[in-house]
Structure 1
Amino acid sequence: MRQHPHTLSLCLALALSLAVAHDDGTVHSHPHDHAAHTAEVLDRCQGLEMDAVSVNEEGTPYFFKGDHLFKGFDGKAELSNKSFSELEDHHHLGHVDAAFHMHFLDSPNEHDRMFLFLDQKVFSYYQHKLEDGFPKDISEVFPGIPNHLDAAVECPKPDCEEDSVIFFKADDIYHYNVRTKAVREKAFKSMPNCTSAFRFMDHYYCFHGHQFSKFDPETGDVHGRYPKEARDYFTRCSEFGKGSDHLQRERCSRVHLDAMTSDSAGNLYSFRGHHFIHRDDKNNLTSDTIESDFKELHSNVDAVFSYKDHLHMIKDDQVFVYKIGEPHTHLEGYPKPLKEELGIEGHVDAAFVCDDQQVAHIVKGQNIYDVNLEESPRVATNERSLSFFKRVDAASCDKDGVKVVVGNHFYSFDSPMIMITAKSVPEQHRVSVELLGCDH
């Protein structure tokens, strides 16, 4: 895979800084120190070119860089062999060149496998365990596909004519038929060479440097305003380039929401990282930093609910309360401890209050609790299980019912009771398109 000059310079500087001179004049380096130091300096908000991108069996994106790995859209780099331990046994191979997650339901021997490509070898993992016999030569598992790939992405029907994997090497594009093992070579003239690629939310993304383009997997056609800045859509970063459209970024970001609420006047507030979007009752959208309107919070809200014209905002183990208005007014005496204010401890994933109700529903993991806001002291009671969701990122409630956000999708329920007792998960809706008005 191609490396940019600034990347090579960084690697050289690190190597020199970690070399140790001994009394006999010899110089040795410490690989473990090097790895630890590299993890500290790998900052994707500085515009890293990722070597490979895939998703795991739960849909969490994995971004590979050198011998490190970023999981999800935030968090620090960790060594790849922490999750894929067998990579340590083959350290003579290069970094991960390409990766993809095989997700073809009618092929049990290949379903839910993650394939990692290093030089001429391919590793097949099932639930983070290397399958017997791997690594193997790429030519043995995927005949007709070359070594030293740049990128790979799965393409199930009907996105592609047949269940396929698309492999990228420089200008060469290979459509590999999973059933017949036939290979079709194509030319994607509309987009740059991909340094990594992945399928996410039923769309196909080609990364080139720290930019990306969305493309048609059959033709390679790119429609719309591309390339775009990857840090605006696939990473939590507090600062962006001067050319960023903040509203467009927040509406269309693939990073999940941290919190969401609606008030009695019909306003919707959604929070993500350092920014929030406000949608008023006339469907007008604005975006700004959290610190601009809620300076005491700074950023990264865990949960928010609206009650009696006040926003109750949970961050870590504290509760901040603001009177809704222009500007929002931070109430004196806050923040208060979460235990004191709501009678609950630990990390809160989501919280909501329905119209004309006095009960705050608090979601922690797969459990939901009720807190009567008119009682003193407030106590979390009525613990129940949310059987359909392993996690909830955000939730809100209004006259139309409850919206539960999980990743990039939301689910609607007529009431909290129906949400808890439902026998099946309702239809998925896209947060970016149906809540925030993104056009793609």
Structure 2
Amino acid sequence: MTKERPWSKLGQCDAALRWLERYYCLQGTQFHQFKPHTGEVLPGYPRDLRDYFIPCPGRGHGHGNASWGGAGDRCSGQPFHAITSDDSGRIYAFRGGLSFRLDSWKDGWHAWPQAHSWPGLQGDVDAAFSWDKRMYLIQGSQVFIYLSGRGGHQQVEGYPRALQEELGIPKADAAFTCPGSTELYVITGDSMRRVDLTQSPRRADEPQPLPHDGVDGAMCTADGIYLLRGGSYHLYKDVAELLAARSPAAPHSITADLFHCAQ
């Protein structure tokens, strides 16, 4: 049985498609993402097909476009503001209002405007971490929380909230949790604080000095703790090694090692 639904807000589509559990209406060289039951268009649309679905020279999510500049080129060497890994092993990196996602080394990195993947999120992300099947994205004194599923990332109702109220910290330059751990580590300037995420209310321990005078982002995986600064990252086996270090670990290339760019 076929049911007709009026999509008055969407208008007439030249073509329509479903991709990655999202629904799109194509109109000329532009497209909208919409809700199939209501026809409601999501914020941030229309967008240009040539930046997403059509491989045009100098455009597209894999190459950046004119409005993204070097921020959309994974090999540009521009610093990232935040990086994290979720429960499934996907890695996310943020800069210039864009989010990069790595599903697997075979599939490669993909860059998208943040609002495409993270509804309601505008501007640069200062820090990011994953815990309890949720992604925490920190901007200034606020934190957003998203649930991830087949339909993408859904913002948890009631957020953003004050960072101090949610995590017991006023600001964060970087943050990370390690796989299977309930401990959050927050880096601000040249020091790091631990937060027990199972506590209520959450409180931060006293700051511990780091061998770095500042970092852009941080991530913890089964391979260790990555601290990003500029175009380099520093790798530590665990928190104990990081806190015991008297000088930064040897720098490695972010573009070469994490993005597999030719040197």
TM-score, scaled relative to structure 2: 0.71
Tell me, yes or no, if the aligned pair for 2:142 and 2:161 is still in contact at 8 Å. Answer: yes
Q: Within 5 Å, give how 1:21-420 maps onto structure 2.
A: 243-248=58-63, 249-284=72-107, 285-325=109-149, 326-345=151-170, 347-386=171-210, 388-420=211-243
**CA offset digits 1:57-113 (Å, max 9, x no partner):** xxxxxxxxxxxxxxxxxxxxxxxxxxxxxxxxxxxxxxxxxxxxxxxxxxxxxxxxx
RMSD between aligned residues: 1.7
Write the letter of the residue equivalent to 1:244.
R
Following superposition, the deviation at residue 329 of structure 1 comes to 1.0
Structure 1 runs (4+) deviating above 6 angstroms are: none
Give the SS at the match of 1:333.
coil
Deviations 1:217-264 (A, max 9, x none): xxxxxxxxxxxxxxxxxxxxxxxx983354244311222000000112
Where do 5+ consecutive residues of structure 2 fail to align?
Answer: 1-55, 64-71
Identity over the aligned pairs, expressed in percent? 32
Query: Do 2:61 and 2:110's aligned partners in 1 also have CA atoms closer than 8 Å?
Result: no
Of Structure 1 and Structure 2, the greater helix share is in: 1
Q: What amino acid is aligned across from residue 405 of structure 1 in structure 2? A: L
8 Å contact kept, 1:250–1:277: no
1:12-62 deviation per Cα after TM superposition (whole angstroms, max 9, x unaligned): xxxxxxxxxxxxxxxxxxxxxxxxxxxxxxxxxxxxxxxxxxxxxxxxxxx
Going from structure 1 to structure 2, the CA distance change for 1:251 and 1:290 (only over 3 Å counts) comes to same
Cα 1:425–1:246 change in 2 (3 A) is: same
Q: CA deviation at 1:282?
A: 4.9
**Conserved in 1, the CA contact under 8 Å of 2:119 and 2:153?**
no
Matched with 2:17 is none
1:429 aligns with 2:244: no
Shift of 1:364: 0.6
Which has the bigger relative contact order, CA under 8 A and spacing at least 6? Answer: 2
CA offsets, 1:264-321, max 9 Å, x none?
A: 2111000011111100145422111111111211231000001011110000111100
What is the match of residue 45 of structure 2? none
**In structure 2, distance between residues paired with 1:245 and 1:390:** 36
How many corresponding residue pairs?
Answer: 198
5+ unaligned residues in a row in structure 1: which ranges? 1-240
Contact 1:291–1:299 (8 Å) recurs in 2: no
Q: 1:276 to 1:283 in 2, by over 3 A?
A: farther
* Separation in structure 2 between the aligned mates of residue 370 and residue 252 of structure 1, nearest angstrom: 33
